[in-house]
Amino acid sequence: MIDGLSFLNSKILWLVVLGLVILWTIFIWKEWSQRKEKRFWIKGVVSLVGLICLGMIILKPALPKALEEGIGIVLTDGYRQTQLDSLKSKYKRIPVQQYVPGQALNITAKADSLFLLGHGLPDFDFWQIQDKSVTFLGADDEPGWSDIQHDKHIFLGETLKVKANYYRPEKDHWAVLLDHTGNPLDSVLFDEGPNSIVSITTNPKASGRFEYSLAEKDENGETVSEEPIPVLIEETLPLKILIVNDFPTFETKYLKNYLAEKGHEVSVRSQLTRNKYKFEYFNGASNPIYQFSQQILADYDLLIIDADSYFNLNNTSKSALDKNLVEDGLGLFVQPNASFFKSSKQTFLSFEADYSEKLALGGSLGSMEKYPYAFTKVFPSQTILMDSVPVAAYVVKGKGKMATTHLKNSYQLLLDGKVEVYTRIWTTILAEIVREREKVAEWESLTEIPRIDEPFQFNLRTRLETPQVHNEEALVPLRQDLQVSYYWQGTTYPRNPGWNQLEIQKDSIAPFSYYVFKADERNTVSQKNTLRVNNREFGERRHVSVQKAKQTKILQVLPPIWFYVLFVLCMGWLWLEPKLSGQ
Architecture of domain 240-433: 3-Layer(aba) Sandwich (3.40)
499 close to 434: Cβ distance less than 8 angstroms: no
Please tell me the distance from the alpha carbon of residue 59 to that of residue 42, in angstroms, as a whole number. 26
Fold observed for domain 144-235: Immunoglobulin-like (2.60.40)
pLDDT for the residue numbered 547: 46
pLDDT for the residue numbered 287: 85
Please tell me the distance from the alpha carbon of residue 74 to that of residue 134, in angstroms, as a whole number. 10
119 close to 98: Cβ distance less than 8 angstroms: no
Look at the alpha carbons of 394, 397, 399, 402 in this order and tell me if their dihedral is positive or negative.
negative
Please tell me the distance from the alpha carbon of residue 200 to that of residue 177, in angstroms, as a whole number. 7
529 close to 12: Cβ distance less than 8 angstroms: no
pLDDT for the residue numbered 543: 43
Please tell me the distance from the alpha carbon of residue 28 to that of residue 113, in angstroms, as a whole number. 60
pLDDT for the residue numbered 555: 63
pLDDT for the residue numbered 478: 92
Q: pLDDT in tens for each of the 583 residues of the chain? A: 345 677 777 788 888 888 888 888 887 887 777 777 777 778 778 888 878 888 788 878 877 765 555 788 999 988 989 889 988 888 878 889 999 887 888 888 778 888 999 999 988 888 888 888 888 988 888 888 889 999 898 888 778 889 999 998 988 899 999 998 889 999 999 988 888 999 998 888 888 999 999 999 998 889 999 999 999 998 878 889 999 998 888 999 999 999 998 889 999 998 888 778 889 999 988 888 888 988 899 889 999 999 989 998 899 999 999 999 999 899 999 999 888 888 877 778 888 888 888 988 876 778 899 999 988 887 788 898 887 889 999 999 988 999 999 999 999 999 988 888 898 899 889 888 998 877 778 899 999 899 998 899 999 998 888 888 988 778 899 999 888 888 999 999 999 999 999 988 755 667 899 999 998 899 889 888 889 889 888 875 444 344 444 555 556 677 888 888 888 888 887 777 777 766 5
Closest CA to 470 of 454, 492, 498, 450: 492
Closest CA to 304 of 240, 388, 356: 240
pLDDT for the residue numbered 464: 84
pLDDT for the residue numbered 542: 46
pLDDT for the residue numbered 506: 56
**Coil, strand or helix: which one is 96?**
strand
Closest CA to 331 of 265, 255, 401: 401
CATH of 441-516, picked from 1.20.1250.20, 3.40.50.720, 2.60.40.10, 3.40.50.150, is: 2.60.40.10
Look at the alpha carbons of 57, 61, 66, 69 in this order and tell me if their dihedral is positive or negative.
positive
pLDDT for the residue numbered 408: 92
Please tell me the distance from the alpha carbon of residue 203 to that of residue 186, in angstroms, as a whole number. 10
